[in-house]
Amino acid sequence: MREIWLAIAVFASLSAVAPAFAQAPQAPPAQEIKDPSALKLGADDRILGNKDAPITIIEYASLTCPHCMHFDTEVLPKLKAKWIDGGKVRLVLRDYPLDGLALRAAQVARCAPPAKFYPFVDTLFQTQDKWAPAKDPQAELQKLALLGGMTKKQFDDCLADKQVENKVVGSRLVATQQLGVNATPTFFVNGTKFDGAPTEEAFDDLLTKLSTKS
């Protein structure tokens, strides 16, 4: 029962935040990882790269977060070319919606076929400055979904799907309670929280060190 009420509280906080260009919420300093098992990959995780890669980056992100957008559009393509495409690293993006609009965008991405998840996420980040501040952002999300191959009925059904909604909200709840996440983007590399700036140079340095050990 306590988990249900916490999930409701999280959803209420998402609905209260302004939808456009939400920033990470003001929160106490990040806590230590309380339950490392929360980083174990599951059936709902979408993997970018070789599923058996020796190095795993887990990113908690919000689709309305401009810092997440910067990482996806400016840093990730370089890491992908050097580390992910070569099979050395796999990336897993997990949902940490900062507002109601990010929640709905994450739902739509999760309703896409697994093979289209990351292309859709990339599109959302690349066009974030257009759909997030729009007068009717849900209508803009619908346009993107239709361009991505969804029908209007599939889009409407997705947003009405409480199971998908609960999974997205639950991802944030687990990250907050068990992993001490309180901002986006937050990264974990091979089970350890990444505390540096999410730059190409910082990741390149860490991945180089890890690859020499594997």
Q: Quick check: helix, strand or coil at residue 58?
A: strand
pTM of the shown model: 0.88
Q: How many domains does the chain have?
A: 1
* Residue type at position 201: E
CATH of the domain at 186: 3.40.30.10
The b-or-e profile of 117-137 (16+ CB within 10 A means b, else e) is bbebbebbbeebeebbebeeb
pLDDT at 212: 86
- In this structure, is residue 82 part of a structural domain? yes
Domain limits at 125? 27-205
Strands (E), the chain: 47-48, 55-61, 89-95, 186-189, 192-194
- In this structure, is residue 126 part of a structural domain? yes
Note the pLDDT tens digit of each residue in 79-137: 999 999 999 999 999 999 999 999 999 999 999 999 999 999 999 999 999 999 999 99
Rounded (10°) CA dihedral 7, 195, 188, 72: 90
Cα–Cα distance, 93 to 97 (Å, whole number): 12
